Protein backbone atom coordinates (compact mmCIF):
# COMPACT_ATOMS: atom_id res chain seq x y z
CA UNK A 1 0.00 0.00 0.00
CA UNK A 2 1.11 3.54 -0.78
CA UNK A 3 -0.68 6.76 0.08
CA UNK A 4 -1.26 9.42 -2.58
CA UNK A 5 -1.05 13.01 -1.39
CA UNK A 6 -3.92 15.34 -2.15
CA UNK A 7 -2.70 17.99 -4.59
CA UNK A 8 -4.38 20.70 -2.52
CA UNK A 9 -2.30 19.99 0.60
CA UNK A 10 -2.09 21.43 3.17
CA UNK A 11 -5.84 21.39 3.72
CA UNK A 12 -5.61 23.44 6.95
CA UNK A 13 -2.97 25.99 7.90
CA UNK A 14 -2.51 28.11 11.02
CA UNK A 15 -5.29 30.71 11.19
CA UNK A 16 -3.67 34.09 11.76
CA UNK A 17 -7.06 35.67 12.45
CA UNK A 18 -7.48 33.47 15.55
CA UNK A 19 -4.75 33.79 18.18
CA UNK A 20 -5.41 30.32 19.60
CA UNK A 21 -4.51 28.62 16.26
CA UNK A 22 -2.09 31.17 14.82
CA UNK A 23 1.05 29.14 15.45
CA UNK A 24 0.27 25.63 14.22
CA UNK A 25 -2.59 23.25 13.42
CA UNK A 26 -1.75 19.55 13.13
CA UNK A 27 -2.34 15.97 14.35
CA UNK A 28 -6.11 15.78 13.89
CA UNK A 29 -8.62 13.11 14.81
CA UNK A 30 -11.10 12.19 12.08
CA UNK A 31 -14.50 10.53 11.97
CA UNK A 32 -17.11 10.11 9.21
CA UNK A 33 -20.68 10.36 10.52
CA UNK A 34 -23.98 11.74 9.29
CA UNK A 35 -22.58 12.52 5.86
CA UNK A 36 -19.86 14.76 7.30
CA UNK A 37 -16.18 14.29 8.03
CA UNK A 38 -15.33 15.81 11.40
CA UNK A 39 -11.79 16.78 12.33
CA UNK A 40 -10.68 17.60 15.85
CA UNK A 41 -7.30 19.19 15.39
CA UNK A 42 -4.51 20.23 17.68
CA UNK A 43 -3.93 23.98 17.64
CA UNK A 44 -1.24 26.21 19.13
CA UNK A 45 -1.02 30.00 19.33
CA UNK A 46 2.14 31.84 18.38
CA UNK A 47 2.65 33.32 21.86
CA UNK A 48 1.19 30.53 23.94
CA UNK A 49 4.25 28.68 25.32
CA UNK A 50 3.20 25.66 23.24
CA UNK A 51 -0.10 25.00 25.01
CA UNK A 52 -2.36 22.86 22.79
CA UNK A 53 -6.15 22.91 22.50
CA UNK A 54 -8.58 21.43 19.96
CA UNK A 55 -10.37 23.06 17.07
CA UNK A 56 -13.20 21.57 15.02
CA UNK A 57 -13.60 21.46 11.23
CA UNK A 58 -16.19 19.77 9.00
CA UNK A 59 -16.35 18.69 5.35
CA UNK A 60 -18.67 16.90 2.95
CA UNK A 61 -15.97 15.70 0.56
CA UNK A 62 -13.11 15.10 2.99
CA UNK A 63 -10.90 17.64 1.24
CA UNK A 64 -12.42 21.07 1.73
CA UNK A 65 -13.05 21.93 5.37
CA UNK A 66 -14.91 24.65 7.19
CA UNK A 67 -13.53 25.42 10.62
CA UNK A 68 -14.91 27.42 13.50
CA UNK A 69 -13.54 30.54 15.15
CA UNK A 70 -13.30 29.22 18.71
CA UNK A 71 -11.62 26.15 20.21
CA UNK A 72 -14.01 23.41 21.27
CA UNK A 73 -11.77 21.81 23.92
CA UNK A 74 -9.17 23.55 26.09
CA UNK A 75 -7.02 22.66 29.13
CA UNK A 76 -9.24 22.74 32.19
CA UNK A 77 -8.13 20.11 34.68
CA UNK A 78 -4.83 19.86 36.56
CA UNK A 79 -3.85 16.75 34.63
CA UNK A 80 -4.02 18.73 31.35
CA UNK A 81 -2.78 22.09 32.63
CA UNK A 82 0.00 22.27 30.04
CA UNK A 83 -2.05 21.12 27.08
CA UNK A 84 -4.37 18.67 25.37
CA UNK A 85 -2.62 16.98 22.45
CA UNK A 86 -3.13 14.52 19.59
CA UNK A 87 -6.82 13.55 19.81
CA UNK A 88 -8.21 10.34 18.30
CA UNK A 89 -11.97 9.83 17.75
CA UNK A 90 -13.85 6.52 17.90
CA UNK A 91 -17.61 6.32 17.30
CA UNK A 92 -19.12 3.78 19.73
CA UNK A 93 -22.90 3.46 19.94
CA UNK A 94 -24.30 6.99 20.20
CA UNK A 95 -21.16 8.79 21.38
CA UNK A 96 -17.86 9.93 19.95
CA UNK A 97 -15.05 8.97 22.35
CA UNK A 98 -11.84 10.98 22.19
CA UNK A 99 -8.56 9.71 23.58
CA UNK A 100 -5.89 12.38 23.91
CA UNK A 101 -2.59 13.14 25.57
CA UNK A 102 -3.03 15.26 28.68
CA UNK A 103 0.05 17.15 29.87
CA UNK A 104 0.52 17.88 33.57
CA UNK A 105 4.04 19.07 32.79
CA UNK A 106 5.44 21.22 30.03
CA UNK A 107 5.72 19.88 26.49
CA UNK A 108 9.06 18.17 25.79
CA UNK A 109 9.75 17.84 29.51
CA UNK A 110 9.72 14.06 29.15
CA UNK A 111 7.21 13.60 31.96
CA UNK A 112 3.57 14.24 32.77
CA UNK A 113 2.14 12.58 29.64
CA UNK A 114 -1.04 10.66 30.37
CA UNK A 115 -3.82 9.17 28.27
CA UNK A 116 -7.14 10.87 28.99
CA UNK A 117 -10.65 10.28 27.66
CA UNK A 118 -13.53 12.58 26.80
CA UNK A 119 -16.71 12.15 24.76
CA UNK A 120 -19.33 14.13 22.87
CA UNK A 121 -22.50 13.62 20.88
CA UNK A 122 -22.51 16.92 18.99
CA UNK A 123 -18.92 18.26 18.93
CA UNK A 124 -20.12 21.23 20.96
CA UNK A 125 -20.24 19.96 24.53
CA UNK A 126 -17.74 17.46 25.93
CA UNK A 127 -17.76 15.19 28.93
CA UNK A 128 -14.40 14.49 30.55
CA UNK A 129 -13.84 10.93 31.80
CA UNK A 130 -10.41 11.68 33.26
CA UNK A 131 -7.05 9.95 32.96
CA UNK A 132 -7.56 6.30 32.06
CA UNK A 133 -3.97 5.03 32.33
CA UNK A 134 -2.92 6.90 35.48
CA UNK A 135 0.24 4.97 36.32
CA UNK A 136 1.81 5.03 32.86
CA UNK A 137 3.89 7.64 31.05
CA UNK A 138 1.91 7.03 27.91
CA UNK A 139 0.69 8.39 24.57
CA UNK A 140 -0.82 7.35 21.24
CA UNK A 141 -3.93 5.57 22.51
CA UNK A 142 -6.67 4.49 20.08
CA UNK A 143 -9.97 2.76 20.81
CA UNK A 144 -11.46 0.05 18.62
CA UNK A 145 -14.93 0.97 17.27
CA UNK A 146 -16.67 -2.07 18.77
CA UNK A 147 -16.33 -4.57 21.57
CA UNK A 148 -14.39 -7.72 20.79
CA UNK A 149 -15.28 -10.84 22.78
CA UNK A 150 -17.34 -8.63 25.09
CA UNK A 151 -14.51 -6.20 25.88
CA UNK A 152 -13.45 -2.75 24.81
CA UNK A 153 -10.01 -2.82 23.21
CA UNK A 154 -7.29 -0.20 22.97
CA UNK A 155 -3.87 0.12 21.38
CA UNK A 156 -1.48 2.40 23.26
CA UNK A 157 2.21 3.21 23.33
CA UNK A 158 4.78 2.69 26.07
CA UNK A 159 8.02 3.57 24.26
CA UNK A 160 9.25 2.11 22.10
CA UNK A 161 6.47 -0.44 21.49
CA UNK A 162 2.76 -0.65 20.64
CA UNK A 163 0.65 -2.31 23.32
CA UNK A 164 -2.90 -3.64 23.67
CA UNK A 165 -5.25 -3.43 26.67
CA UNK A 166 -8.84 -4.40 27.51
CA UNK A 167 -11.67 -2.91 29.56
CA UNK A 168 -15.28 -3.46 30.56
CA UNK A 169 -16.04 0.22 31.21
CA UNK A 170 -13.50 2.30 29.19
CA UNK A 171 -11.89 3.49 32.43
CA UNK A 172 -10.17 0.48 34.02
CA UNK A 173 -7.71 -1.21 31.66
CA UNK A 174 -5.89 -4.51 32.08
CA UNK A 175 -4.17 -7.28 30.12
CA UNK A 176 -1.47 -4.96 28.82
CA UNK A 177 0.96 -6.61 26.44
CA UNK A 178 3.12 -5.71 23.46
CA UNK A 179 1.63 -6.35 20.01
CA UNK A 180 4.24 -4.74 17.78
CA UNK A 181 7.87 -3.65 18.20
CA UNK A 182 10.29 -1.44 16.27
CA UNK A 183 12.37 -3.17 13.62
CA UNK A 184 16.15 -2.88 13.57
CA UNK A 185 17.88 -1.12 10.67
CA UNK A 186 14.55 0.08 9.32
CA UNK A 187 12.53 3.28 8.96
CA UNK A 188 10.69 2.36 12.18
CA UNK A 189 13.69 1.18 14.20
CA UNK A 190 13.60 3.73 17.05
CA UNK A 191 9.97 3.66 18.21
CA UNK A 192 6.47 3.11 16.91
CA UNK A 193 2.99 4.16 17.98
CA UNK A 194 -0.65 3.79 17.02
CA UNK A 195 -1.95 6.44 14.64
CA UNK A 196 -5.59 6.31 13.64
CA UNK A 197 -8.15 4.14 15.45
CA UNK A 198 -8.26 0.69 13.78
CA UNK A 199 -10.55 0.28 10.76
CA UNK A 200 -12.42 -3.01 10.34
CA UNK A 201 -11.88 -4.74 6.99
CA UNK A 202 -12.61 -8.22 5.69
CA UNK A 203 -8.96 -9.16 6.15
CA UNK A 204 -8.56 -7.79 9.66
CA UNK A 205 -8.18 -4.64 11.70
CA UNK A 206 -6.25 -2.11 9.62
CA UNK A 207 -3.93 0.09 11.68
CA UNK A 208 -2.12 3.13 10.31
CA UNK A 209 0.81 3.75 12.63
CA UNK A 210 3.88 5.99 12.85
CA UNK A 211 7.48 4.91 13.00
CA UNK A 212 10.60 6.87 13.93
CA UNK A 213 14.17 6.23 12.83
CA UNK A 214 17.53 7.07 14.41
CA UNK A 215 17.48 10.53 12.79
CA UNK A 216 14.06 11.28 14.38
CA UNK A 217 12.22 11.27 11.04
CA UNK A 218 8.55 10.28 11.36
CA UNK A 219 6.97 8.10 8.67
CA UNK A 220 3.65 6.26 8.35
CA UNK A 221 3.23 2.50 8.10
CA UNK A 222 0.36 0.04 7.98
CA UNK A 223 -0.33 -3.25 9.76
CA UNK A 224 -3.16 -5.77 9.94
CA UNK A 225 -4.44 -7.47 13.12
CA UNK A 226 -6.75 -10.44 13.62
CA UNK A 227 -10.47 -9.58 13.78
CA UNK A 228 -11.22 -11.88 16.71
CA UNK A 229 -7.89 -11.55 18.51
CA UNK A 230 -6.46 -8.08 17.81
CA UNK A 231 -3.34 -8.88 19.83
CA UNK A 232 -2.34 -11.10 16.89
CA UNK A 233 -0.38 -9.30 14.18
CA UNK A 234 -1.22 -10.76 10.76
CA UNK A 235 0.78 -8.56 8.40
CA UNK A 236 3.03 -5.51 8.46
CA UNK A 237 4.24 -3.74 5.38
CA UNK A 238 8.00 -3.50 5.08
CA UNK A 239 8.07 -0.09 3.40
CA UNK A 240 6.47 3.09 4.73
CA UNK A 241 3.25 4.21 3.09
CA UNK A 242 4.15 7.90 3.47
CA UNK A 243 7.37 9.70 4.36
CA UNK A 244 8.46 13.33 4.52
CA UNK A 245 9.10 14.61 1.00
CA UNK A 246 7.23 17.88 0.50
CA UNK A 247 8.38 21.19 1.97
CA UNK A 248 5.39 21.27 4.36
CA UNK A 249 6.61 17.92 5.78
CA UNK A 250 10.35 18.54 5.68
CA UNK A 251 10.14 21.93 7.41
CA UNK A 252 7.99 23.25 10.23
CA UNK A 253 8.01 23.42 14.02
CA UNK A 254 9.47 19.90 13.95
CA UNK A 255 11.16 18.92 10.66
CA UNK A 256 10.81 15.61 8.80
CA UNK A 257 7.42 14.63 10.22
CA UNK A 258 4.28 13.00 8.87
CA UNK A 259 2.05 11.97 11.77
CA UNK A 260 -1.52 10.68 11.71
CA UNK A 261 -4.19 10.63 14.40
CA UNK A 262 -7.17 9.91 12.14
CA UNK A 263 -8.31 8.03 9.05
CA UNK A 264 -11.71 7.35 7.52
CA UNK A 265 -13.11 5.00 4.90
CA UNK A 266 -15.10 6.79 2.17
CA UNK A 267 -16.06 5.78 -1.37
CA UNK A 268 -13.99 2.58 -1.14
CA UNK A 269 -10.88 4.58 -0.24
CA UNK A 270 -9.00 5.42 2.92
CA UNK A 271 -8.43 9.08 3.69
CA UNK A 272 -5.50 9.44 6.09
CA UNK A 273 -5.26 12.84 7.76
CA UNK A 274 -1.84 13.79 9.02
CA UNK A 275 0.24 16.60 10.44
CA UNK A 276 3.10 17.88 8.32
CA UNK A 277 6.12 19.22 10.18
CA UNK A 278 3.98 19.72 13.30
CA UNK A 279 2.64 22.82 11.52
CA UNK A 280 -0.14 22.05 9.01
CA UNK A 281 -2.82 19.44 8.29
CA UNK A 282 -2.78 17.32 5.14
CA UNK A 283 -4.55 14.29 3.69
CA UNK A 284 -3.38 11.31 1.64
CA UNK A 285 -5.57 8.66 0.04
CA UNK A 286 -5.35 4.96 -0.82
CA UNK A 287 -7.66 2.14 -1.90
CA UNK A 288 -5.02 -0.59 -1.84
CA UNK A 289 -5.83 -2.57 1.29
CA UNK A 290 -6.23 -5.70 -0.82
CA UNK A 291 -2.46 -5.56 -1.53
CA UNK A 292 -1.53 -5.83 2.14
CA UNK A 293 -0.78 -9.47 2.87
Per-residue pLDDT of the chain (293 residues; tens, 9 = 90+): 999 999 999 999 998 899 999 999 999 999 999 999 999 999 999 987 899 999 999 999 999 999 999 999 999 999 999 999 999 999 999 999 999 999 999 888 888 999 999 999 999 999 999 999 999 999 999 999 999 999 999 999 999 999 999 999 999 999 999 999 999 999 999 999 999 999 999 999 999 999 999 999 999 999 999 999 999 999 999 999 999 999 999 999 999 999 999 999 999 999 999 999 999 999 999 976 545 44
Output the pLDDT for position 288.
Answer: 63
Q: What residue numbers bound the domain in which 204 lies?
A: 4-291
CA distance 239 to 101: 28
CA distance 277 to 252: 4
By the 8 A CB rule, do 87 and 32 touch?
no
- The total of other beta-carbon atoms located within 10 Å of residue 124's CB is 9
Output the pLDDT for position 109.
Answer: 84
Output the pLDDT for position 293.
Answer: 46
CA distance 153 to 163: 11
Output the pLDDT for position 198.
Answer: 98
Q: Describe the chain by its helix, strand, coil percentages, rounded to 5.
A: 5, 50, 45
CA atoms within 13 A on the CB side of 12: 31
How many independent structural domains does the chain possess? 1
We report the CATH number of the domain holding residue 156 as 2.115.10.20
| Nearest CA among 103, 95, 143, 99 for reference residue 117 | 99
Cβ neighbours of residue 281 closer than 8 Å, sequence gap 6 or more: 10, 11, 12, 13, 25, 26, 28, 39, 41, 273, 274, 275
Amino acid sequence: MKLRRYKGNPILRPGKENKWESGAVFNCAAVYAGGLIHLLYRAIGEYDTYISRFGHAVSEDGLNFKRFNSPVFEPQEDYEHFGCEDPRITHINDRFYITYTALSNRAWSGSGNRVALSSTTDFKTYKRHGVILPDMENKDAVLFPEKINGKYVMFHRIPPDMWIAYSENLKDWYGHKIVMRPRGNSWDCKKIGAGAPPIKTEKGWLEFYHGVDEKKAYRLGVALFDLNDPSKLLARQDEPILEPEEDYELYGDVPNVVFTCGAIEKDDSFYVYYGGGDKVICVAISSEVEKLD
